[in-house]
Chain A
Amino acid sequence: MLLEAMNLTKLFGGLTAVNNVTFQVERGKIVSVIGPNGAGKTTFFNLLTGIYKPEQGNITFAGRPLRNLRPDQIAKRGISRTFQNIRLFNNMTVLENVLVGMHPRLKIPLWQIILRTKAMLREERQARERAQELLAFVGLEAKHGNLAKNLPYGDQRRLEIARAMASRPKLLLLDEPTAGMNPQETTEATQLIQRLRAELGVTIVLIEHDMQLVMSISEQITVLDSGSKIAEGTAAEIRHNPRVIEAYLGQGSLPNDKPKQQFSSSNT
């Protein structure tokens, strides 16, 4: 197991955002977390990445507990993520965004930076080369000098993935990677996700509303509703699970039907 979250619970005041959720991810898998808006999916990601501290429960990653680690320390351990509502560094260039993602891997000490030693320049050059490779991987190599805020929407999503991959994570958390995309773009994103695993060997957990995508690429699907895990299994199992269908009633029917998105959920 790469990631094991045991009995996670997170409360906001009186609201139980995540309720006693146990969640496991095997190395090399693509796992989806689905559920209606407000089910606690993003909160769950925030727990895994250390942005929120759980009231209860433990998370073990690659055999070591993540208790009391700050988000940056967790990122350094190898969990990286993208955000539901794209959070790029808007006034930095595309290349710089990826370079920031590389931060945990850059080691050169302060004095070498101040003196700009050969070792520092070498590390910087290597980092830039690797960043360019990553940009090429997601198809943004030509736009490395653009400011992130000037990229079209689809490119911003891809840049977020490149940035998240820059720290060479073991586990990549994608929060609605195809939200707001047209079918063409969604297909491309799906291919990108599969290539990430195949070529870079990263384990992927994604939150997604597009059921076609979820059903086609996930080896395991976890369903959250009102903070609790209500089902877990393969695509076929989930498709016919009565509790899942019930949870989705009123929001659209399973499968192949995307829930309405105009009121984007604020899963906090």
Chain B
Amino acid sequence: MNVNNISDSEASLARRTLGFTLQNIFKPILQIILFILCSILFLSFIVIFLALILRGSHTEIDLLNNVLVILPQVIIDGLVRGFLFATIALGYTMVYGVLEFINFAHGEIFMVGAFTGAGFASILNHFGFLKGFPAIPFLIISLLLGMFVSGSLALLTERIAYRRLRNAPRLVPLISALGVSLLLQDLMRMIVTATGLGFNTSYRTPDMGKPWQIAKFIIPDGRQAVMSIDSRSLNFIIAAMIMLIGLNYLVSATKLGKAIRAVAEDRHTASLMGVNVNQIISLTFLIGGALGGAAGVLFGIRVGTIDPYIGFLNGLKAFTAAVLGGIGNITGAMVGGILLGFLEAFVASYLSLFTNGEFAGANYADITAFSILILILIFRPAGLLGETVAQKV
């Protein structure tokens, strides 16, 4: 795994100082914020440019103004999607960094997190506690529950289905992970249909306040373009941000993080140096799983309806995000997730507008992710932030 600076002997002294720690934590955050702003500017520029070019072929509608009026909301949509992919992608990337193994079941860990949140809310609702429940404690308890359940589940799958395959040919643990993924999908389906939540589980959560208006623009034809964010999405972004900062601190500034990086670098040497490799691998699954679970809880609260198969597509896209950013690289996973989120939001909103409704954007948004994946693999297989690592011979 490649978390900015892997220590050399000189840096290890400086590492202990507070300034270095802060720099290590906040530098990636600043990088991400900068990256978000650049992506917004770049993509907005592209759609406006396209609108100006295509204006001639769409005489019956005012393309430019139609593009502009939804632009602020598309940006917010992209941001929320982006953080979703980023949080799930972290689980893929951490496990890949340590074990060089794609944990197919991670999407389902996310799904289980979402259902843990749904279960908690439904139980509260059942006993009539939900109505008066304050929003912030609800959010925190749901998150902790989701993180606990998903983290433990990830730990358990590693222990049962992956650990004994660690020295098997590469194909074998992948197949096992695929099996876990399928098993969890239907196990959850069985649980939700048996408990009466239903395949499509809709549930209520406490009121989280009004949408927050960020900005208002007047576009050329006089209409207002409002940039606002609803409180659930805002919670999502804030919680995701806090977790990313926490993870960055853990990995880059603590002893545990150092052990994780050591195992990622060379498992055998790390074990010679007294690192308990099994424990660290378990920990990686625990952290990745907990993050995935938290993402699930937040996702569920935001959309309000979930089903046992949500993990599949979201997991696939999050994996794409991890590859996009450079798999094994934590900052890369966030950057990749956010970029993918933006691209998807823009395709979903603008494709049908630009093609006169010939191509339904929402349907093709899913394909965007895979097209990007394939393009990235052709042109920059190491990802945006990844380094090309020579294979060991």
Minimum CB–CB distance from B285 to chain A (whole Å) comes to 27
**B126: CB under 8 A from chain A?**
no
**Cα separation A12 to B392 with both chains bound (whole Å):** 12
Proximity string of chain A (12-27) to chain B, C-beta cutoff 8 Å, 1 when within and 0 when not: 1100000000000000
Out of A12, A13, A42, which one reaches B393, CB within 8 Å?
A: A42
* Docked complex: B367-393 residues within 8 A CB-CB of A: 387, 390-393
Name the B residues within 8 Å of A46 (CB-CB).
393
Main SS class of interface, A: loop
Closest A residue, CB atoms, query B387:
A13
**Cα separation A83 to B392 with both chains bound (whole Å):** 12
**Cα separation A184 to B387 with both chains bound (whole Å):** 46
Interface centre among B390, B391, B392, B393 (most CB of A within 10 A): B393
Q: How many residues of B contact A (CB 8 A)?
A: 5
Minimum CB–CB distance from B194 to chain A (whole Å) comes to 45
**A268: CB under 8 A from chain B?**
yes
Minimum CB–CB distance from A119 to chain B (whole Å) comes to 35
Minimum CB–CB distance from A243 to chain B (whole Å) comes to 28
Q: How many residues of A contact B (CB 8 A)?
A: 9
**Cα separation A51 to B393 with both chains bound (whole Å):** 9
**Cα separation A72 to B316 with both chains bound (whole Å):** 34
**Cα separation A266 to B390 with both chains bound (whole Å):** 13
Name the A residues within 8 Å of B393 (CB-CB).
42, 46, 51, 83, 268
**Cα separation A266 to B391 with both chains bound (whole Å):** 12
**A52: CB under 8 A from chain B?**
yes
Minimum CB–CB distance from B266 to chain A (whole Å) comes to 9
**Cα separation A52 to B393 with both chains bound (whole Å):** 10
**Cα separation A51 to B391 with both chains bound (whole Å):** 9
Minimum CB–CB distance from B208 to chain A (whole Å) comes to 48
Closest A residue, CB atoms, query B392:
A268
Out of A42, A83, A268, which one reaches B390, CB within 8 Å?
A: A268
**Cα separation A51 to B392 with both chains bound (whole Å):** 10
Minimum CB–CB distance from A94 to chain B (whole Å) comes to 21
Minimum CB–CB distance from A52 to chain B (whole Å) comes to 7
Name the A residues within 8 Å of B392 (CB-CB).
266, 268
Can you sample 12 A-B contacts with CB below 8 Å?
A: A12-B390, A13-B387, A42-B393, A46-B393, A51-B391, A51-B393, A52-B390, A83-B393, A266-B392, A268-B390, A268-B392, A268-B393
Chain A residues in contact with chain B, CB under 8 A? Answer: 12-13, 42, 46, 51-52, 83, 266, 268
New contact pairs (9) apart from A46-B393, A52-B390, A83-B393, CB-CB < 8 Å? A12-B390, A13-B387, A42-B393, A51-B391, A51-B393, A266-B392, A268-B390, A268-B392, A268-B393
